[in-house]
Structure 1
Amino acid sequence: MSVINSMLKNIEQRQPTTSLNEQGTVVVDPVYDSHGVIKKLLIIAIALLVVVLSYIYLPTASDDAAQLPERMDLVTKAQSSKEAEQNNTPVLINAPVVSNSDVIKPVAKVEPIIEEVAAVKTDTKEPFVAEKPMVAAITVEPNTVPSANKQSSFQVKKVTQQRTEQQQIAELLRQAKQALEFGLYQEGIDDLSQILNRDKGNIAARSLLAATYFQQQDILSAQSILEHGIAFDSQVLEWRVQLSKIYITRKQYSVVQQLLSDDFDSQGDAQYWALKGTAAQQLGDHTRALVCFEQLTQLQPQQGKWWLAMATSKDAQGDYLSAKRYYLAAIEVGNLNPAVLKHAKQRLQTLGGVS
């Protein structure tokens, strides 16, 4: 019993302590600071975002900042080149013609650069004030340069056109001569006609064209070409001589005398004196004929036909002694065809008894 009692006492002594402990202990759940956690997460997210943005945009900004001086140099060079062109305007006198579009082209290249520089966003508050006057200067200057350039280059261009026209005519004349040498008459005629359309007073082209028509037996065309030439310039003796040949073949000797008037005697050559003397002799004007044939005996003394012509005119005038002397001279000089030589000998025999 004693043991049981002691155990009960022990139990009773322990129960109040246990109940006391059970009543005095409060179990509290842990309280977490959610605002602090959210704030920390936001800070970490912002930091990560800043790092990412810095990684993306800082190289681009550095490249733009590196290219900015180069673009500014381009703008400065463009402005300096425009100022140099404006200061050196006297040099433009010998320069080729520059159109408005050619002068304005550099402006079209500079303006995009200025727009790109202005489009770069920086944190600084300094505006690009310097570029605005440059744009105004570059766009205004071309309006003044072309005016002086046009005036100065007009005279140079005009001289070049005149020289080119002469060269073209000379080339056409060369082609026409070459074509005629190879028997390409139509090509030669076309080239010569083209020359006369450009230059009516071209003596060589008109003379060659008339001679070509005459050779092709197109007498009317040759006559028309020469008559138009004489109407344009009546002092060209070469055209008068060629036209006289046509009228000689038609036996229109009076027209030949009109064409080869005494006003052209100072310019006369052997052909001129032969045509004029023949026309005068056929018209019975032996005095004029003797003057012409005497000129020919001096120019071409080795030609017996001129001595024979002198003898014929003297014989027609009744000056038989002079005629006999000229017949004899014609036979001695020679260069006569057999029929003419036979006539001269017969006439000399007829006049043999004349003293």
Structure 2
Amino acid sequence: MSAINQALSELARKKGGKIAAIEPVKVKPVKQKLILPWVVGSFGLSLAVGGWAISYQAPTSEVAPEAIIPVANDRVTSAILIASPTAKMSSQSGAIYRSEQNAPAIQEAIHDEKVIQVSSSVVAEPITQPVQLIAKVATKESANQADMVVEQVELTAGQLSDKAQQQAKKALDNNNLKEALDYYHEALKYTPQNEKVRQTLAALYYGKDEVRRAVDLLQKGISLDKESVVLRLSLAKLLMKQKQDAAALSALAAIPENATIEYLSLRGVLAQKANQEAMALSSYQQLVQLDPDSGRWWLGLAIQQERALDFDQAKNSYESALRGFGLSGQSQQFIRDRLALIDQLGEQNGAN
């Protein structure tokens, strides 16, 4: 203080003014508990002065993203860096700037009364840059945000089979036969009585020239459902392609309750070729009941009746065939010849 008083006295003498001697100011010793606020205040003032001086030399820039201190909290929080006169030099590198854009964030943090003071490091050497002053405001996550819920849904056997079939079709589209076969087997495992899947799988094996495996698949399906018209027809047609008509007829030996015209007609034709008269007769008897307007079925029935030497019934069936539809001219001429022969046989029997 004496040095300052002497300097002021010297300045007054040079200007020629009169001034009373400046007495040294006596200051009472500061108590120990007030040392820290004075030190902090003095240091803060020096920093403010230094920052003001440098602000005229260095332009204001935005706060570097890496300078922000994240605060792990789901509520609105802030962090303010406060310089400490006793802190050591930090190892953090990079320029330090003062950002005016952080003022609203600081005010919001103070208004929320959630200010958190974080001790910062200062340089022990002379200050050449402004003090860093930043605030971090974390966005509060919405309480209404939907949580991800994992639900375990059990699929039915049918749904699992459908899914496997879709994968099998995709594999076929990509010409991946092995993968398609695997998926169809998986689908059949879930729904073993699925006729469509079993048919498709058998056809794929037949296309690979694995006839035995295709036949086994169809036979297994028939054993599971003896009334399956679809599987019996598929097996019969496959065996017919292999020139095994007798084996094909055995696949059609039974007549399911829901037997179709296709099923019965193929059964009748194969039975006639194999001279299985009873099977052929039963087939055409049901056919004329299902489709009485077809001349083909009446013709087949008439032939079987004639073979059984039942000429009266055969004659009626031949005549019904002529009244029906679907016969060629050759078949119609065949019917007329048979009717003439039956009439001739009847006259001979009457003469005897």
Q: TM-score, normalised by structure 2?
A: 0.49
Q: TM-score, normalised by structure 1?
A: 0.49
Instruction: Looking at secondary structure, tell me which structure has more helix per residue.
Output: 1
Larger Rg: 1
Higher relative contact order (CA 8 A, sep 6+): 2
